[in-house]
Chain A
């Protein structure tokens, strides 16, 4: 699948898919990379080294620092795929250097799929 490059880089990993938007601030623990938002479909799961797939960001604009922070703490996802990346997530992934692509039909990606993300070329491969 072809999308738009938000932040360049290449990444490989297992997909972790959320049908709901993610708010990184208050939604993901900065030290562990575990989703902590109550009632979120990914609650209790870790995003570390995964290809994190979700429709769009939501909530607080401090989210950019949380993305930067989880990268510095070594618990960031290897890559991010969105339907539409808004500025909070975009700023975070650019600053952190996490490969990120959007404008992808994320409904075609299932939890646990092996993903090769070539964000340099805006490409997503499911194997």
Chain B
């Protein structure tokens, strides 16, 4: 890998121990994956924020970086934390957990990272442009930025994203290169998709099938950004899909080479079977929306369904702090809270300790959440569309 004179100085330790250690990690990754050089990046999104995910080892790693005065060079956002950073006590998050979570946030802030905590940075003020090189790590945010926006990022690990933020560069390989963004499998969709959960089911099915390939979808007639968010998130969770193209909908679909690909067909039956497969429980104790974090449109949809109703069992909707503010102004939060629901910011069901809060069965409309909740939160899952889930809690 070609390094500039400036970059060699970093390797030689002239810019301090932290820069040397992190830059070496980037060079090592660049060498493994055949990068020719480092490229400047426009923004970063760092995963590995919840205390539940990174534990003491990750917390100590971050505090060590912060104490050595590591500072980020580009706009850097964070993945969801393990709790609502303002409302945690009221929502019942454990105190000792909160103490550790706040330690982590303090370390990030000291490094100059914007303490945002969302898996949808593109809805909260960190929006890359088409073809911009970035280093993002949350798997659904990577999928969205690559596929729906056409920005360019590999699936960064938490530490490699942090290294990129502090060094301001990333190795030039993989999805930063046009030839590596070409589709490797064609998905023919004949099923009708209407609810966001249908897109989650489709994504879950495809991710399982294609693992880390680049799918090219045909037959999806229309999809808004919430539905593409649901599709990409599920594919990145059940598989390792970092980029997909949808004919007629995503910006690179008309530019890539899509001839002669292996084909997979998905009809009504595959979607129905996936719904069944993802349902391991009945009668949820709690229903949680907002995986990935809800957009204003999704919060408005929930408010519509809860207007004037009384919930018997809890309903949460997770979102970023910024979108929560907008929903507050529109009165959506008031409607949802009056019905007995909660708007939860900064965190989500996957990274928060819901199993310690007494919940055993969770209802979700997200293919990604349905994928993670059984293993990581020891939950039985009810996977359904928003109408059925809300109906069941009334």
Chain A interfacial positions (CB closer than 8 Å to B):
4-6, 21, 23, 25-27, 30-31, 36-38, 55-66, 68-69, 71-73, 84-88, 90-92, 94-95
- Chain B residue numbers with a CB within 8 Å of A61 are 47-48, 137-139, 142, 155-158, 161
- B58 in contact (CB, < 8 A): yes
A95 to B65, CA, bound (A): 13
A73-B155 contact in complex given A4-B32, A61-B138, C-beta closer than 8 Å: no
- Chain B residue numbers with a CB within 8 Å of A30 are 55, 57
Determine whether the beta carbon of B58 is less than 8 Å from that of A94. no
- Chain B residue numbers with a CB within 8 Å of A55 are 211
- Chain A residue numbers with a CB within 8 Å of B28 are 94
Q: Shortest CB–CB separation between residue B155 and chain A, in angstroms?
A: 6
Determine whether the beta carbon of B138 is less than 8 Å from that of A95. no
Chain B interfacial positions (CB closer than 8 Å to A):
25, 28-29, 32-33, 47-48, 53-58, 61, 79, 137-139, 142, 154-161, 174, 211-212, 236-240, 280, 350, 371-372, 374-376
A56 is contacted by which of B29, B58, B212 (Cβ under 8 Å)? B212
Determine whether the beta carbon of A60 is less than 8 Å from that of B237. yes
A26-B372 contact in complex given A61-B142, A87-B156, C-beta closer than 8 Å: yes
Determine whether the beta carbon of A69 is less than 8 Å from that of B157. no
Determine whether the beta carbon of B54 is less than 8 Å from that of A69. yes
A71 to B48, CA, bound (A): 16
User: Which chain B residue shows the least CB distance to A38?
Assistant: B374
Determine whether the beta carbon of A90 is less than 8 Å from that of B240. no
Determine whether the beta carbon of A26 is less than 8 Å from that of B376. yes
Determine whether the beta carbon of B155 is less than 8 Å from that of A68. no
- Chain A residue numbers with a CB within 8 Å of B47 are 60-62
- Chain A residue numbers with a CB within 8 Å of B155 are 61, 86-88
A63 to B137, CA, bound (A): 11
A37 to B280, CA, bound (A): 14
29 contacts between A and B (CB under 8 A): A25-B53, A27-B375, A36-B376, A37-B375, A38-B280, A56-B212, A58-B211, A58-B240, A59-B237, A61-B48, A61-B139, A61-B157, A61-B158, A62-B47, A62-B53, A64-B157, A65-B58, A65-B61, A69-B55, A69-B58, A84-B212, A86-B155, A86-B240, A87-B29, A91-B29, A91-B156, A91-B158, A92-B159, A94-B28
